[in-house]
Amino acid sequence: MINFSNFEKKTKIIFKNKKLLEQAFIHRSYINENPSTNLSHNERLEFLGDAVLELIVTDFLYKKYSSYTEGELTALRSALVNAVIISEIASNVGMNDYLLLSKGEAKDNGKARQYILANTYEAYIGALYLDQGIEMVDKFIHKTLLPKTEEIVIKKLWRDAKSLVQEKAQEFVNFTPAYKVLHESGPDHDKHFTVGIYFGPNLIAEGKGQSKQEAEQKAAEAALKVKNWLD
């Protein structure tokens, strides 16, 4: 099996129960391909870690942003714990090098890997919580994830771009934005979409993403910049 000693050195967190640490990195596909190993996948740990992560992030935001409303705090938390951000953090920590995946999953470095990494980060938090308690988890999340908060607040990434552009468009140009897929490419497991945002017949901006929803968000963000509506 994989030796996690270098990972423990990097994170400066030494697990008492090495099997818990290992389990955090085992994807269901690996178990399906290697049923004789008698190992368990990480989904239960992910379930636990997701709840612990949400509590710590919520507590941090509640205390730090005392003037924010419930809705603003919820939006900020969603921006912070989304799969894109968490998978980036997991990759920065080095988790990608320790994943136990099926041969098929191991070859896929697209959107699916992003979600696997995000889920592994949550499973690791669940394992760390069981192994060393909430204080150590709190330190780990403060060190790895919470520094991203300032960037999200400064760039106003916590605001949903589609909602904001709809609000601004109705206020300033009396149009409800419409979205249209302009181009799509790639195989089913790694699609790429280009979406246009329109005010009436006029194409205002375009956005690209690995799903229609992601491309629409990018198009909305671009439209806000084009119209100078980012206050």
Q: Binding residue per annotation — 119?
A: yes
pLDDT grade, residue 1 (50/70/90)?
low
Q: Binding residue per annotation — 42?
A: no
The whole-number average pLDDT for the span 137-164 is 86
Q: Are residues 79 and 138 in the same domain?
A: yes
- The whole-model pTM stands at 0.73
Lowest model confidence (mean pLDDT) among 11-15, 100-104, 109-113: 109-113
Which CATH number goes with the domain that contains 219? Answer: 3.30.160.20
Q: Are residues 167 and 207 in the same domain?
A: yes
- For the chain, what's the residue count? 231
Domain count across the chain: 2
DSSP H helix total and E strand total for the chain = 12, 3
Token output for 64: 């730090």
Q: Binding residue per annotation — 122?
A: yes
Residue with tokens 């109705």: 170
Q: Is residue 24 pLDDT above 70, yes or no?
A: yes
Beta strands in the chain (DSSP E): 178-185, 192-199, 202-209
Q: Look up the domain containing 165 and give its range.
A: 161-226
- Closest by CA to 96, choosing from 120, 77, 79, is 120
Indicate which residues carry an active-site annotation: 50, 122
Q: Are residues 174 and 146 in the same domain?
A: no
231 is a domain residue: no
198 is a domain residue: yes
Task: Give the pLDDT score at 110.
Answer: 67
Task: Give the pLDDT score at 153.
Answer: 84
pLDDT digits (tens, 9 = 90+) for 212-231: 988 998 999 899 889 988 75
The residue that leads in pLDDT, 39 or 26, is 26
